[in-house]
């Protein structure tokens, strides 16, 4: 290669490399700049961006239970800021912990329930559920014909408690034991549209999360986004939920609801008093369910459904307290087991008083 | 001599501004295509009809799960046993 050509080549290379280096540096610095500005929460959680459903900072946050107090406060501040901007009202997100010495239980008198669905609507309102397309309801009221009670009186003197090597638990065999010694949901209607309730010869049975003591949904969750708190309530960290729906499959009561789309919650109907694990607005792609109104019950108030019931069919209380309403129901009323075979030990009892 | 000049031209071509822009355009194209595909996918999953159908399927599943169940009256012993089991489980967890 002649000397001239080599010089020419070197010169050209120098020019090209200089330019290339410059462009490379520009690219690297712009990418670094972008990352740096997007990492702090404040860069994304901005009142000018109220529609952002999950901010970058939220996306990268850990499980709420495992956060330090400082991280929790930051997460809550982010949410409050975003919700306040999005819904145009001062929104609070509480992280009050479950009280000690409490195991929440619920009892519902099927004999009293009139099927008015006031509990359903109070729940939707309190818990910031999607209002339309569709309205997500955590409580389903079943309407069942009274005629399907098949407790046969002539079998009452038959049957006996079965002894077991694990202990005598008084489980009955024979007699009425293998029949519906109560009633069945065989001909139940979930979506009745009656002008007037209660309809003669019908029972109404609201079904919601049974707050199982051995919850299969918690066992099924691959990321532990759903868990049981020490007051016995099964909760969900919506930000940690990956939306795999395993919990929904596992729940024998089908009490969990998945947000297939963005929930439609009009700003004017949004309840601004929220709890991190409770009624704060959810996003698309996460699971939600009844939490016994954790935002209320952790502060010593009753769940919204109970407050709304016009006939006092609902009782809520502490199972550890022998004088609580729920314990009294268990001690004195005719209580039914529902889906006992699932072995989940629900803390929601149906009874007839 | 002609061969060497050709070689220089090839090297120059490889390092040229045009080549850089070509690569940059290709990269932008790939990113845009990926973004467009993602948008299409998310759009299709989020279409109102689809979403409604999925909600409806969930509701049907719930209805199915609730039908044909029995509510069986518990004996006093069963009630006691249930309460004991609940309390034991709770105290175990607290401990």
- Please state the three-class secondary structure of A235-249 as a single string: EECCCCCCCCCHHHH
Cis ω on the peptide bond leading into residue A9 (within 30° of 0)? no
A185–B69: do the CB atoms touch at under 8 Å? Answer: yes
B23 located within any domain: yes
How far apart are the C-alpha atoms of B46 and A260, rounded to whole Å?
8
**Which single residue is written with the structure tokens 């868990």?**
A227
What backbone torsions phi and psi does residue B45 show, to the nearest 5 degrees?
-75, -25
The structure tokens listed for A304 are: 């919204």
Rounded to a whole number of angstroms, the distance between the first and last alpha carbons of chain A is 106
Quickly state the pLDDT bin for A52 (edges 50, 70, 90). low
State the pTM of this model. Answer: 0.76
Of B51, B72, B79, the CB nearest to A182: B72
Structure-model confidence comparison of residues A218 and A56, the more confident one: A218
Q: How much is the pLDDT for B3? A: 62
B82 located within any domain: no
How far apart are the C-alpha atoms of B37 and B43, rounded to whole Å?
10
What contacts B2, CB < 8 A, 6 or more positions away? Answer: none
User: In a 3-state reduction of DSSP, which class is residue A229?
Assistant: coil
Q: What percent of chain A has pLDDT over 70?
A: 81
- Chain A residues 276-305 within an 8 A CB cutoff of chain B: 284
B86 located within any domain: no
Residues of A in contact with B4 (CB under 8 A): 1-2, 5
B74–A9: do the CB atoms touch at under 8 Å? Answer: no
How far apart are the C-alpha atoms of A52 and A46, rounded to whole Å?
9
Is residue A135's pLDDT more than 50? Answer: yes
Per-chain mean pLDDT for chain A: 86
pLDDT (tens digit per residue) in A156-165:
677 788 877 7
Q: How much is the pLDDT for A34? A: 53
B75 located within any domain: no
B87 located within any domain: no
B81 located within any domain: no
Quickly state the pLDDT bin for A209 (edges 50, 70, 90). very high
Which chain B residue shows the shortest CA-CA distance from A188? Answer: B67
Is residue A293's pLDDT more than 80? Answer: yes
DSSP letter for A89, please: S
Q: How much is the pLDDT for A75? A: 95
Domain count for chain B, please give it.
1
B84 located within any domain: no
How far apart are the C-alpha atoms of A147 and B20, rounded to whole Å?
81
Q: How much is the pLDDT for A39? A: 42
Of A182, A253, A330, the CB nearest to B73: A182
ipTM for this prediction: 0.76
The H-or-E segment that residue A203 falls in is: strand A202-207
User: In a 3-state reduction of DSSP, which class is residue B71?
Assistant: strand
**Domain ranges, residue B30:** 2-69
Instruction: Classify the phi-psi angles of A325: left when phi > 0, otherwise alpha if psi is within -120 to 50, otherwise beta.
Output: alpha
Q: How much is the pLDDT for B70? A: 81
The structure tokens listed for A222 are: 């691959």
Q: How many CB atoms lie within 10 A of CB B72?
A: 22
Is residue A346's pLDDT more than 50? Answer: yes
B63 located within any domain: yes
User: How close B34 gets to chain A, by Cα (Å)?
Assistant: 19
* A183 close to A150: Cβ distance less than 8 angstroms: yes
């Amino acid at each position: 290669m002649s000397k001239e050509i080599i010089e020419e080549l070197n010169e050209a290379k120098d020019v090209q490399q200089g330019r290339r280096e410059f462009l490379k540096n520009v690219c690297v610095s712009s990418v670094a700049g972008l990352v740096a500005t997007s990492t702090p929460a404040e860069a994304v959680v901005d009142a000018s961006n109220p529609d952002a459903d999950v901010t970058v900072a939220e996306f990268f946050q850990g499980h709420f239970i495992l956060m330090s107090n400082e991280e929790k406060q930051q997460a809550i501040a982010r949410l409050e800021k975003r919700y306040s901007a999005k819904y145009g009202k001062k929104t609070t997100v509480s992280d009050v912990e479950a009280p000690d010495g409490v195991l929440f239980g619920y009892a519902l008198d099927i004999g009293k329930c009139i099927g008015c669905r006031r509990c359903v609507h109070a729940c939707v309102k309190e818990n910031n559920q999607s209002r339309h397309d569709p309205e997500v309801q955590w409580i389903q009221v079943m309407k069942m014909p009274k005629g399907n009670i098949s407790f046969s009186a002539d079998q009452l003197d038959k049957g006996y408690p079965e002894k077991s090597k694990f202990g005598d638990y008084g489980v009955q065999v024979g007699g009425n034991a293998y029949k519906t010694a109560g009633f069945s949901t065989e001909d139940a209607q979930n979506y009745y549209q009656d002008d007037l309730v209660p309809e003669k010869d019908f029972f109404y049975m609201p079904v919601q999360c049974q707050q199982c003591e051995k919850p299969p949904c918690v066992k099924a969750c691959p990321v532990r986004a759903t868990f049981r708190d020490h007051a016995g309530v099964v909760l969900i960290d919506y930000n940690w939920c990956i939306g795999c729906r395993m919990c929904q499959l596992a729940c024998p009561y089908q009490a969990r609801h998945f947000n297939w789309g963005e929930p439609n919650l009009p700003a004017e109907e949004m309840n601004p008093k929220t709890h991190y694990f409770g009624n704060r607005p959810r996003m698309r792609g996460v699971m939600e369910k009844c939490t016994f109104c954790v935002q209320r019950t952790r502060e010593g108030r009753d769940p919204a459904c109970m407050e709304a019931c016009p006939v006092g069919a609902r009782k809520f209380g502490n199972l550890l307290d022998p004088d609580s309403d729920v314990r009294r129901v268990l001690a004195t009323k005719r209580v039914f087991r529902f889906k006992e075979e699932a072995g989940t030990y629900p803390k929601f009892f149906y009874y007839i008083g | 001599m002609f061969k060497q000049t050709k070689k220089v031209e090839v090297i120059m071509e490889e390092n040229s501004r045009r080549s850089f822009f070509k690569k940059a355009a290709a990269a932008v194209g790939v990113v845009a295509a990926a973004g467009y595909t993602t948008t299409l996918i998310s759009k299709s999953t989020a279409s109102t009809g689809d979403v409604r159908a999925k909600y409806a399927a969930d509701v049907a599943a719930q209805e199915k799960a609730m039908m044909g169940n029995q509510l069986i009256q518990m004996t006093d012993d069963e009630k006691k046993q249930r309460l004991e089991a609940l309390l034991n489980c709770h105290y175990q967890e607290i401990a």
